[in-house]
Chain A
Amino acid sequence: MDAFCCCFKVQEELEDDINNSNNQHHSSSNGFTDLVSKFATLFRNNETQHVPSRVLACLLTEEAKTKVAKNILEVEECPVCLEEYTTENPKIPMKCSHNYHLACIYEWMERSNFCPICDRVMEFEESLDAQMR
């Protein structure tokens, strides 16, 4: 119940903020960015479970490459091909803690040096061998 009330309050506040940012068009861009980071903080701290879809979209846009997005996106499937990991095509951990199929991440590395989720420079986990044993 507490959680619900908190969530409800946050949402109301959020609606107000969104309305304000719509009205005060000169500061709308900043207002919205502030709003997104505010919500991202709440979400990160587990203070709310319900993320309105348009805010979620912003989180994905503005913070697609942070831990917030990671919590939403990370399931036990490769984020690139959306297929599960198998023994023949296993999970390859990167230093940033995100996982991909080897072929999938190699193909992305041809285009970018940054992790698709957190935007950090991609490096393979050196202890990979040790971990797998």
Chain B
Amino acid sequence: MIDFARVQKELQECGKDVEGSGIRVAPKSDATLARLVGTIPGPIGTPYEGGVFQIDITLPDGYPFEPPKMQFSTKVWHPNISSQSGAICLDILKDQWSPALTLKTALLSVQALLSAPEPDDPQDAVVAKQYLKDYQTFISTARYWTETFAKTSSRGIEEKVQKLVEMGFPEAQARTTLESVGGDENLALEKLCSG
């Protein structure tokens, strides 16, 4: 049984520090707190800088005693993240999980992984090989993927959020609603008006 009271608290805590951490976590829909979307900014000074990366989060029944399942839904070029599926190779999401960690600290760790790839323990062998053999090409590919996949959608979302804010909806609500309908502004508007 998922400890939903804790999840609720975590969302509140994380929401308080969005300015500081840049990390967001929001439920995917109103239906359940077991499916969430996390957002992390690409670390400065890396080829991921300027990108905003979305991570699908599924909480197992045993959460927080078992680790959250996390997977990039934004395509990313990184030795420890599958360029195909978005699967993440990170010890704290596996056997090094501890119930004292939270969704936020887990996402911070994922962000740290973007800063510090570990090509010796790869998730994506092709990327890891490129990282080790041809670092410059790795950097430009990673940067290109950031430009292509991690920027347009997020810029789009920001514009849509802004539009809804101008219509008079609170920013946080506009954002979570947009996220919950996958960025469709008409659906989001409908939902905001009916809710």
Residues of A within 8 A of B (CB): 15, 18-19, 21-22, 25-26, 28-29, 32, 53-58, 60-61, 64-65, 69, 73, 79-83, 104, 107-108, 110-111, 116-117, 119
Given known pairs A15-B45, A28-B117, A54-B115, the reply for A61 and B92 (CB within 8 Å) is: yes
Given known pairs A64-B98, A64-B100, A64-B101, the reply for A54 and B108 (CB within 8 Å) is: yes
Given known pairs A32-B116, A53-B20, the reply for A25 and B135 (CB within 8 Å) is: yes
> Bound state CA distance, A75 and B6, in angstroms?
15
Q: With A25-B135, A107-B65 given, name 17 new contacts (CB 8 A).
A: A19-B45, A25-B132, A29-B118, A53-B21, A54-B108, A55-B112, A60-B105, A60-B109, A61-B90, A61-B91, A64-B100, A64-B101, A69-B100, A73-B100, A108-B99, A111-B66, A117-B100
Could you say which residues of chain A place their CB within 8 Å of the CB of B135? 25
Total number of B residues with any Cβ neighbor in A under 8 Å: 37
Q: Closest 8 interchain pairs by CB? A: A57-B108, A116-B100, A57-B112, A32-B116, A116-B98, A79-B100, A61-B109, A80-B99
> Bound state CA distance, A56 and B21, in angstroms?
10
Could you say which residues of chain A place their CB within 8 Å of the CB of B46? 22
Could you say which residues of chain B place their CB within 8 Å of the CB of A117? 98, 100
> Bound state CA distance, A28 and B116, in angstroms?
7
Determine which of B3, B5, B92, B131 lies in contact with A64 in the assembled complex, contact meaning CB atoms within 8 Å.
Answer: B92
Listed by A's residue number, 16 A-B pairs whose Cβ atoms lie within 8 Å are A19-B45, A25-B135, A28-B117, A29-B116, A54-B108, A54-B111, A54-B115, A57-B108, A58-B109, A61-B92, A64-B100, A82-B9, A82-B10, A83-B5, A116-B98, A117-B100
Q: Are the CB atoms of A60 and B101 closer together than 8 Å? A: yes
Given known pairs A25-B135, A32-B116, A53-B21, the reply for A82 and B6 (CB within 8 Å) is: yes
Given known pairs A64-B101, A81-B5, A116-B98, the reply for A57 and B65 (CB within 8 Å) is: no
Could you say which residues of chain A place their CB within 8 Å of the CB of B43? 54
Give B69-99 as 1s and 0s: 1 = Cβ < 8 Å from A's Cβ atoms. Answer: 0000000000000000000001110001011
